[in-house]
Amino acid sequence: MQNWQRTLGRALGIGAGIAAAGAAAGAAALGIGGAALARVLVTPERAPGSAVTVARVEREGDRLVVVLRGAQATLPGRYSLLFDDGAGHARVGAVLGVADGAARREVLDVPRGTLRPGVEARLTGWWFTEPEETGLRTERIEYPTELGPAEAWIIHPRRVRRAARGRWAVHVHGRGALPAETLRGVAPLARAGITSLVISYRNDPGAPAGERGRYGIGIAESRDVDAALAEAVRRGAERITLVGWSMGGTAVLRSATRGPFAAAVDGLVLDSPAIDWPELLRHQAGLSRVPRPFAEVGIALLDRDLVAAGEPGGLDFESIAPERVAAALTVPALIHASRGDSFVPSSGAERLAAARPDLVQLRLSEAGEHVKIWNTDPEGWEAATEAFVRALPRPGWRGELPERAWPAAKG
């Protein structure tokens, strides 16, 4: 996310500089800046998380403490640190204190590698980096997509309740992330007796390249979700819950409303979903202090296929607008969203929930960064998710509820 914003800021800053040179350059500047924004949006990233530096590693009594510097080093909650190009992994807890812009955090464990001063790391909401770390039985498979085979993990619950026989879930990560992003969401479904299929999709290291090597903002990726649904059905799934994070939310919404296996879907769980992409682009341009017309030009260029994306013929933004999706929705959806999300505005999720209060339950937080709501309140996130999936296909409650009103998860 941080790389996306930094690259976007540089690209749009160039366009804004040209525009400042005079009115004659304005049209050219809009084209350059709008195209830069559009290309950044659909270009895959390979460095998930926010950059931080390990300033110090200290022993305080019985606990190990790390001092981190970086833009998101002080985020509330618990996180993973990935370092040494992913060869190292540490888990850190809540902020113990902040001094001179650096955050002190307790080191909860170090599954691999050695934390040391000077190490450049990525602070990420991931909690597990491999499916086996969940403690559940795992199978590593490939499933066929329209572009070729893609890697996936099947994660089995410890026991399957009678009511959960034939129930599966497909977990879909977000833009610039990897399948490991979704692993923290597996436990509540496993406790409900649901088998999870965690997938890679086009442009991931374990999957084929997408059209022109670009993202399709969930539109193209939804066809890989369709293929994953087919694989789950082939393996015995009778009802499938779709779990989507960020851009994965776009993909699963499209599969559930327009895909060939929509009839197999019994519900959706969405975290920080990207539902209104034009608003997302406008928001990001605003954070970079770039005039709104740059975003409008970028949207138009992607829509008309004048900037190549991962969908032939251009990106049909209108087809994934919240109101269009709401009208086509036929199954219950639980949405975890945050008004503190600086990357994807929660307004799209709020509009979807407002349009379909009969089907959509919105768990809206005031704080919590993008795809990091679980990290600030894992117990609450998992309890709400477990209660929702246990109650499918027809949960007994509807609409936005205060936190205290969420039903407790069953043991």
SS (H, E, C) 251-295: HHHHHHHHCCCHHHEEEEEEECCCCCHHHHHHHHHHHCCCCHHHH
User: Which one of 3.30.390.30, 3.40.50.1820, 3.30.310.80, 3.40.50.450 gives the CATH number of domain 131-276+321-405?
Assistant: 3.40.50.1820
- Residue intervals in the chain for CATH 2.40.10.170: 50-124
The answer to whether residue 406 scores a pLDDT higher than 50 is: no
* Residue 77 falls in which region: left (phi positive, over 0), alpha (psi -120 to 50) or beta: left
pLDDT (tens digit per residue) in 123-139: 999 999 999 999 999 99
> Considering the chain, what is the average pLDDT of its residues?
90
Q: Could you give the residue range(s) of every CATH 3.40.50.1820 domain in the chain?
A: 131-276+321-405
Calpha distance 215→71 (Å, rounded):
26
The count of other CB atoms within 10 Å of the CB of residue 330 is 11
For residue 116, how many other CB atoms are within 10 A of its CB? 13
Model confidence band, residue 34 (pLDDT cutoffs 50, 70, 90): confident
Is the CATH code 2.40.10.170 the one for domain 50-124? yes
pTM of the model: 0.91
pLDDT digits (tens, 9 = 90+) for 261-315: 999 999 999 999 999 999 999 998 888 777 888 899 999 999 999 999 999 999 9
